[in-house]
Structures are given as C-alpha cells and as structure tokens.
Amino acid sequence: MPKRKRNYKNVSVYTRCNEYEDIFRVDDKVLFCNYCNVSVEWRQKSTVDNHCNSQKHISNMESHEEQNKAQQLTLASTQVAADLKKQVIEDLIEAFAIADIPLEKVNSLLPFFKKHVKNG
C-alpha cells in the first residue's frame, strides 16, 4: 500500500497563537498560556484545544477575570475616602478629649484599626 501524503497547511507558532486570540503568547518560538503560565505544544490543534478545555485552564481563566473586575478608584472616590478618613480622625480626637484620654494611647489602638477599619 502506498503511503498517503498528509495535506497539512503550514502552521507556525504565530498562526496558532493568532487562532486563540488573548489566550496565548509566543516567547522565543514557544507557545505560552497567559492564564496558566505554562508552555503548550502548538503543532497539533487538538493538543491546544485539550489545554483550553482542561479544568485547570478554565479555573485559572475565571479567577483571572474575577481579579480584573475590581474597579480602579477614580479621583473623586479617592477624595471621598480621604475626607472620610479625616472625619474619623477628628471624631476620635474629640472622643478621646471628652473622655480625658491622652492622645498617646491612640498608638496602642493601631492594630485594632488596621484590622477592623477599611484602609486602617
């Protein structure tokens, strides 16, 4: 029986990377997964597909997207947070003055504030 020639189209690591946009990157002609940070054999499409369908890859993708959902603070929200912090400090100083507690004792409360107050 004569051997059949396989009719593969020319596939490079770069074309394989372009097939899976934003999932892989090429570094020194090696295909790397952006989410799992592992190299993936790129010559056979089924190997790349198997990696993309693996439970590890899916969970890494989900956790990566959850981390990116955190919103960046705007200048206005940062200003509001700073104003609230100033208000808390002023209220604390007033409470200590009314209770006749020396302000030096505030330092002993720092671990409590760092634990229970946002941006302690």
Check: pTM over 0.75? Answer yes or no: no
Answer with the residue of higher pLDDT: 44 or 104.
Answer: 44
What per-residue confidence (pLDDT) applies to 7?
47
CB 16 within 8 A of CB 31: yes
- Centre a 10 Å sphere on the Cβ of residue 113 and count the other Cβ atoms it contains: 14
> For the segment 2-56, what is each residue's pLDDT rounded down to a tens digit?
555 554 568 889 989 999 888 999 988 899 999 998 999 999 999 999 999 999 9
pLDDT band at 110 (very low <50, low <70, confident <90, very high): confident
- Domain ranges for the chain: 13-90
- DSSP 8-class letter at 105: G
> For the segment 59-94, what is each residue's pLDDT rounded down to a tens digit?
999 888 887 766 566 778 788 888 888 888 888 888
What per-residue confidence (pLDDT) applies to 111?
84
What per-residue confidence (pLDDT) applies to 25?
92
Find, among 21, 26, 27, 19, the residue nearest to 45 by Cα: 19
pLDDT at 99 over 60: yes
